[in-house]
Amino acid sequence: MKQRWSRRRWLQLLLLGGLGRLRPGWSAATPLPQAVYELTFGEEAKFHYGVGLSLPRRAESRQAVPVSVDCRLQETDLIALFVTPSPTPLAARFLLSPRTRPQVRTHLRLYQDSEIVAVVRARGRYFHQSAKIDVSQGCR
């Protein structure tokens, strides 16, 4: 006896197929504003000089570009780094204790000239700082 395809079965297959496309790496490129919106749950990240983002203007090597974020805001519990243009802009996310000094150092792999954006959550509010880097002269 043949198994009949019910409406419920079709909906289950459509739902599972759609969820597979939402997984990171399987979906289309996520633009930077949408990625920041998802991280901040819809709140606007405001520019603040208290978020210190330091990186070289010109990368020596594309393989390991040093990036550091030193935040002078009190009760910082989240630091996130975004790279644009990139298919998945969220490059790193650090969850911190509000009692620690909010300072993070890491290395990122960049393939082209990029803008790096640091988003920080302090006392429940979001702040950002951005900088551009030239990697066209770096090693391949």
- Give yes or no for residue 100 having a pLDDT over 80: yes
pTM for the structure as a whole: 0.71
> CA 106 to CA 104: how far, in whole Å?
7
Q: What is the CATH number of domain 29-133?
A: 2.60.40.2470
pLDDT(13) > 70:
no
Q: List the chain domain ranges.
A: 29-133
d(CA 39, CA 5): 39
Collapsing DSSP to helix, strand or coil, 125 comes out as strand
Q: Average pLDDT in the 81-101 region?
A: 85
Q: What is the pLDDT of residues 53-84, one digit of tens each?
A: 888 888 777 778 888 999 888 888 889 998 88
pLDDT-based confidence at residue 39 (cuts at 50, 70, 90): confident
The residue behind tokens 């009692």 is 99
Residue 4 is predicted with a pLDDT of: 65
Structure tokens at 107: 């290395």
What mean pLDDT is reported for the chain? 77
- In the sheet that 90-95 helps form, which strands lie side by side, from edge to edge? 46-47, 125-133, 114-122, 76-84, 90-95
pLDDT at position 3 is 57
Q: For the residues of 59-91, what is the DSSP string, one character each?
A: -SBSS-EEEEEEE-STTEEEEEEEEES-SS-EE
Q: Is the pLDDT of residue 28 over 50?
A: no
Least confident of 48-52, 99-103, 134-138: 134-138
Query: Is the pLDDT score of 24 beyond 60?
Result: no
